[in-house]
Structure 1
């Protein structure tokens, strides 16, 4: 099934790549960042990020979604560009109506922005 949520976004964090990679690779953060997903690492790229298979997580008021998640870390100047990609579809295999799909995409996108802005604030405060 084609992803109905196809999020591509990025945030620049003024922190060393190793510090960002350590936070991104810590499983304790994943449940907080994506409470609606259960993630399994499919590829640990070390300082370059992590790729995941995503299955629905129970509860939390989110629809059951499945697909892939990726965080790609790109060193840039004194920091790192955190690229994040979410490719998700209803776990049921039944497509959402267009309006519901757009609403879900906005919700997932806004949630991702908040996650990575908070990460940026935390890592840059460590200066």
Structure 2
């Protein structure tokens, strides 16, 4: 099990292809995860993307898009270890705070995408095809 382990999900009422395009925009990654270096391991198009993570954390991150109703559930996973910390010293870190920080970053990412893609859409209204 990883020391940093985040799993979260958010529903976005938009076409999964549009959601995938937002998440695949590499210029946004630095905004969402400013201290992490991400390398695409697998671009799954409308199903999401998987990265190798380096920087202060080493491991993997994934956004998986599960079509649902008139949109998709965005599943966010992060499995990492602190970089440069001996395994016997990891217990000395504030892992709860580190996990919370990464969970909040993932939620900010999904809410930013949700806000952009659902802009102007009234509750119960069908998703817009394009902006």
With the shorter chain as reference, the TM-score category is: 0.7 to 0.9
2:44 paired residue number = 45
Q: Under a length normalisation based on structure 1, what TM-score does the superposition of the two structures give?
A: 0.86
After TM superposition, what 4+ stretches of structure 1 lie above 3 angstroms from structure 2?
none
Gaps of 5+ in 2: 121-127
1:14 paired residue number = 13
Q: Which one is further off, 89-98 or 16-25?
A: 89-98
1:33 paired residue number = 32
Q: What SS does the aligned partner of 1:15 have?
A: coil
Larger CA Rg, structure 1 vs 2: 2
2:71 paired residue number = 79
Q: Is the 8 A contact 2:32 2:108 kept in 1?
A: no
Q: What SS does the aligned partner of 2:59 have?
A: strand
Q: What SS does the aligned partner of 1:97 have?
A: helix
Mapped to 1, the partners of 2:30 and 2:86 lie a distance apart of 25
Mapped to 2, the partners of 1:24 and 1:36 lie a distance apart of 17
Mapped to 2, the partners of 1:75 and 1:68 lie a distance apart of 23
Gaps of 5+ in 1: 57-63
Residue 28 of structure 1, CA deviation: 1.1
When the two structures are aligned, how many residues end up with a matched partner? 119
Q: What SS does the aligned partner of 1:36 have?
A: coil
Q: Under a length normalisation based on structure 2, what TM-score does the superposition of the two structures give?
A: 0.84
